[in-house]
Chain A
Amino acid sequence: MASISSRRLAKELREIQAEGCPVGISLVEANDFSKWVFTIQVMGDSLYQDEVHTLQFRFDPQYPISSPAVQFVVTDGKQAPIHPHVYSNGHICASILGNEWSPVLSVIAVCVTLQSMLASCKKKERPADNDRYVKHAPENPKKTLFHYDDDTV
């Protein structure tokens, strides 16, 4: 299993290096096959203009069969974007990171989804249960069973 995970990530990394990331996304750190860091920026006209956020991926040996643990970095002065599906601790409530994860999705595909999630946002606000969630949230967002309820943002 471990070999599949590293082979797959190696391939993804090669593609990123050869073809570059999509506009607004750039690779910051990929020193090993357990943690990658990207910066993400929403291009064009949106509520998040001129904001740069840092996105962290953690992979377990079961990747890509199991989803990566994805969250916004909120340390060292970095902030999670204010969005109805992003908690202030950086955790993201997105179905493709949970029950709708599919092994054919890639790291870049996840970045693009999250970018578009921000781009289509109409109102900057935290999730309604932010305080309660952040207080008890597990360290790894994959351990949270999100209830995906809202289809509109």
Chain B
Amino acid sequence: MIDGTQDEDDDTASEMDMDNYADDFKVAAKTKRKPYDVEYESLSQRSVEKLMQRDVEHICGIFGVEADTANLLLRHTKWNKEKLIENYMDNATAVLVAAGVTLPDAPTPSRTHSIASSSQSQSAARRPATRSKLLGLGSSSKSSAKSSSPPKPISRTPSKKADEAFVCQICFNDAPGLQTLALDCEHAFCTECWLDYATSKIRDESEHTVRCMAEGCALVAPDTFLRDILLGSVPATGEQQAREKTWQRLQELFVRHFVACNSHLKFCPYPSCTNTVSCPSAASKSSLITVVPTVSCGARGIGVQDSAASMSSSQQFVNGLGLKGKEHKFCFGCQVESDHRPVICSVARMWLKKCRDDSETANWIKSNTKECSQCQSTIEKNGGCNHMTCKKCKHEFCWVCMGPWSEHGTAWYSCNRYDEKTGVDARDAQSKSRASLERYLHYYNRWANHEQSAKLALDLYAKTEKKMEEMQITSALTWIEVQFMKKAVEEVDKCRMTLKWTYAMAYYLYRGNEKDLFEDNQRDLEKAVEDLSELLESPIEADNIPALRQQVTNKTVYVQKRNEIVLEDTAVGFLDGRWRWNVSVDGFDDPEDQ
């Protein structure tokens, strides 16, 4: 029921209405792109495959090669078509050899070479230390099998001849009539071994390049070859499924590789989602200082497994209302959080790092506490006179000079051992530390407050649902007419997200008119959201429902507007380069220079 891949028409009637309702809003919002929305397109695995297909066909047309070859060439050059074409025109053979399509023309270094010399001849710079050609060093049967296949350029044909002398060099199976396969290099192995090898590469290593199994042979198995191995012969029914899965996995690996090679494409990070998002305007790092690329892959709902496991039946509805409709929203530019608008990626990251760092805790402890001079317990003085008695070790001391109280006399509130000079210094240092700490805590508390509220959104959804039912009972309102409550909750949830990140942004904003304006907008949104929240929490009485409905609807629209103003103004500010920071941020002028 909470399947993200499911289409809306499988849902229950009520949910369907709701989805359509939500979609209507989306369509309306999409007609004109807001400055804070980034342009993007979501693609299914199928459509990414089509993109790949297009590139492959293009290369096929230019080079006059088969699709298999074009695929290998493109994968080898990381789908950089321009580079491939240039290199191919320059030296086609070299490219084909490097991509593992054909064998090098020049005879490969003798395979029956002694090891010591071969390790010198093979001096590919990044190649490892003990690389050696070993073939032919083993038993005699090995070398005889080797010599039976001189390299010559022939078209790849699964050699299904019953060669009685053939022994598979991997499993040593010498059964007559053993089916064997070889790439152009003619290194023949039995189909069983090929299958095991390809399966292990694809399933265990998530590797999409399957090379010839012979040691040192760089030929890569083309797609049709792998297809033959995996799906060619008809296996036992149980195995069939596993093989198809492997083949599917291979297709997925191809797509992932393609997506990874293209900077304007990104895979949806949600578990078991196979969609891709294309967002050319956020492809470069430098673009991330002007846009916050919040995108959504088009799929809805969270993974079936996770939700089924963690949701009790009573939560099912909440799920239907809240999470079911949740899009797979994520930030194209970073992994910090799915939607950190209006603040840009690098600042959001900086803020989170600061919040996570224990340094702030330490900072607080440093400026608010002292340690007992005897047992080193941390003590916060929250009132009273300077005569302190450690709760733990009962040590009595003076808070001001930290000396033992016994030497102190009876000056409870002023310390006569107080050293003027150091005292002033200490106080200065402490108040300075406190000011910056308080500033941080001001922003942090508000940020954390909204974060907390977002976490409680599930509860709010459930509570609202109850109220909506109640309303339908106590008043003449229909199901569709009480939807204003849900809409309001959604809006509050959304605005809290925006508000949360405005505090991160404000913390780093350079003081000035721009910041003042920003904070004005922030304050207006904050106030509107709190008003609406309060309305939502207010008790429902039968006679005030129409009034409440009016108020909530009005407020919702207002809140929505305020949110848009904040997002829009900030986004435009980034595009205009209006924002200045009080710390150095990549891509911006250093605050020191201003």
Taking the complex as formed, is A65 at the interface, i.e. its CB lies under 8 A from any CB of chain B?
Answer: yes
| Shortest distance between the CB of A51 and any CB in chain B (Å) | 18
> Which residues of chain B in 174-193 are interfacial with respect to chain A, using CB atoms and an 8 Å cutoff?
187, 189, 192-193
List chain A residues, Cβ under 8 A from B197: 65, 103
- Determine if B134 and A96 form an interchain contact, defined as CB atoms under 8 angstroms apart: yes
- Determine if A1 and B128 form an interchain contact, defined as CB atoms under 8 angstroms apart: no
List chain A residues, Cβ under 8 A from B132: 96, 113, 116-117
Taking the complex as formed, is A106 at the interface, i.e. its CB lies under 8 A from any CB of chain B?
Answer: yes
- Determine if A151 and B128 form an interchain contact, defined as CB atoms under 8 angstroms apart: yes
- Determine if B131 and A151 form an interchain contact, defined as CB atoms under 8 angstroms apart: yes
- Determine if A8 and B172 form an interchain contact, defined as CB atoms under 8 angstroms apart: yes
Given known contacts A4-B196, A65-B200, A112-B137, is B128 in contact with A119 (CB within 8 Å)?
no
Task: Scan B423-464; emit 1 where CB is below 8 A from any A CB, else 0.
Answer: 000000000000000000000000000000000000000000
Task: Scan B199-233; emit 1 where CB is below 8 A from any A CB, else 0.
Answer: 01000100000000111110000000000000000
Taking the complex as formed, is B414 at the interface, i.e. its CB lies under 8 A from any CB of chain A?
Answer: no
List chain B residues, Cβ under 8 A from A84: 129
Taking the complex as formed, is B170 at the interface, i.e. its CB lies under 8 A from any CB of chain A?
Answer: yes
- Determine if B135 and A151 form an interchain contact, defined as CB atoms under 8 angstroms apart: no
- C-alpha spacing A102/B189, complex, angstroms: 13
- C-alpha spacing A103/B116, complex, angstroms: 22
Give the size of the chain A interface in residues (CB under 8 angstroms): 41
> Which residues of chain A in 119-153 are interfacial with respect to chain B, using CB atoms and an 8 Å cutoff?
119-120, 146, 148-153
List chain A residues, Cβ under 8 A from B215: 96, 100, 102, 104-105
Taking the complex as formed, is A109 at the interface, i.e. its CB lies under 8 A from any CB of chain B?
Answer: yes
- Determine if A106 and B138 form an interchain contact, defined as CB atoms under 8 angstroms apart: yes
- Determine if B196 and A65 form an interchain contact, defined as CB atoms under 8 angstroms apart: yes
| Shortest distance between the CB of A50 and any CB in chain B (Å) | 20
Taking the complex as formed, is B93 at the interface, i.e. its CB lies under 8 A from any CB of chain A?
Answer: no
Given known contacts A8-B171, A19-B140, A113-B115, is B129 in contact with A104 (CB within 8 Å)?
no
Taking the complex as formed, is B123 at the interface, i.e. its CB lies under 8 A from any CB of chain A?
Answer: yes
| Shortest distance between the CB of A121 and any CB in chain B (Å) | 10
Given known contacts A102-B215, A108-B139, A112-B115, is B128 in contact with A94 (CB within 8 Å)?
yes
Taking the complex as formed, is B553 at the interface, i.e. its CB lies under 8 A from any CB of chain A?
Answer: no
Taking the complex as formed, is B141 at the interface, i.e. its CB lies under 8 A from any CB of chain A?
Answer: yes
Given known contacts A62-B200, A65-B196, is B130 in contact with A85 (CB within 8 Å)?
yes
| Shortest distance between the CB of B512 and any CB in chain A (Å) | 50
B116 interface neighbour in A15, A85, A94, A119, Cβ under 8 Å: A119
List chain A residues, Cβ under 8 A from B135: 104
- C-alpha spacing A31/B573, complex, angstroms: 75
Taking the complex as formed, is A11 at the interface, i.e. its CB lies under 8 A from any CB of chain B?
Answer: yes
Nearest B residue to A117 via CB reads B130
List chain A residues, Cβ under 8 A from B141: 15
> Which residues of chain A in 7-28 are interfacial with respect to chain B, using CB atoms and an 8 Å cutoff?
7-8, 11-12, 15, 19, 22
> Which residues of chain A in 35-91 are interfacial with respect to chain B, using CB atoms and an 8 Å cutoff?
62, 64-66, 84-85
List chain B residues, Cβ under 8 A from A103: 169-170, 189, 193, 197, 213
- C-alpha spacing A102/B111, complex, angstroms: 15
| Shortest distance between the CB of A61 and any CB in chain B (Å) | 11
- Determine if B129 and A95 form an interchain contact, defined as CB atoms under 8 angstroms apart: yes
Most chain A beta-carbon neighbours within 10 Å: one of B128, B171, B173, B192: B128
- Determine if B130 and A113 form an interchain contact, defined as CB atoms under 8 angstroms apart: yes
- Determine if B170 and A104 form an interchain contact, defined as CB atoms under 8 angstroms apart: yes
B169 interface neighbour in A4, A95, A104, Cβ under 8 Å: A104
A149 interface neighbour in B128, B192, B193, B200, Cβ under 8 Å: B128
Taking the complex as formed, is B124 at the interface, i.e. its CB lies under 8 A from any CB of chain A?
Answer: yes
B129 interface neighbour in A1, A4, A153, Cβ under 8 Å: A153
- Determine if B171 and A114 form an interchain contact, defined as CB atoms under 8 angstroms apart: no
- Determine if A96 and B137 form an interchain contact, defined as CB atoms under 8 angstroms apart: no
- Determine if A96 and B130 form an interchain contact, defined as CB atoms under 8 angstroms apart: yes
Nearest A residue to B201 via CB reads A65
A8 interface neighbour in B142, B170, B187, B217, Cβ under 8 Å: B170
| Shortest distance between the CB of B489 and any CB in chain A (Å) | 49
Taking the complex as formed, is B367 at the interface, i.e. its CB lies under 8 A from any CB of chain A?
Answer: no
List chain A residues, Cβ under 8 A from B187: 104
- C-alpha spacing A91/B189, complex, angstroms: 31
- Determine if A102 and B129 form an interchain contact, defined as CB atoms under 8 angstroms apart: no
- Determine if B214 and A102 form an interchain contact, defined as CB atoms under 8 angstroms apart: yes
Taking the complex as formed, is B362 at the interface, i.e. its CB lies under 8 A from any CB of chain A?
Answer: no
| Shortest distance between the CB of B313 and any CB in chain A (Å) | 43
> Which residues of chain B in 103-152 are interfacial with respect to chain A, using CB atoms and an 8 Å cutoff?
115-116, 119, 123-132, 134-135, 137-142
- Determine if B124 and A151 form an interchain contact, defined as CB atoms under 8 angstroms apart: yes
- Determine if A95 and B170 form an interchain contact, defined as CB atoms under 8 angstroms apart: no
For the complex of A and B, the 8 pairs showing the least CB-CB separation, nearest first, are: A148-B128, A95-B128, A102-B215, A11-B172, A116-B115, A94-B130, A109-B134, A117-B130
Beyond contacts A62-B196, A84-B129, A151-B131: 17 other A-B pairs, Cβ-Cβ < 8 A, are A7-B171, A7-B173, A8-B172, A64-B170, A65-B170, A65-B196, A94-B129, A96-B130, A103-B213, A104-B214, A104-B215, A108-B138, A112-B137, A113-B134, A146-B128, A148-B127, A151-B124
A: which residues have CB within 8 A of B?
A: 1, 4, 7-8, 11-12, 15, 19, 22, 62, 64-66, 84-85, 93-96, 100, 102-106, 108-109, 112-114, 116-117, 119-120, 146, 148-153
Q: 5 A-B contacts, Cβ less than 8 Å apart?
A: A64-B170, A95-B127, A104-B169, A150-B129, A151-B127
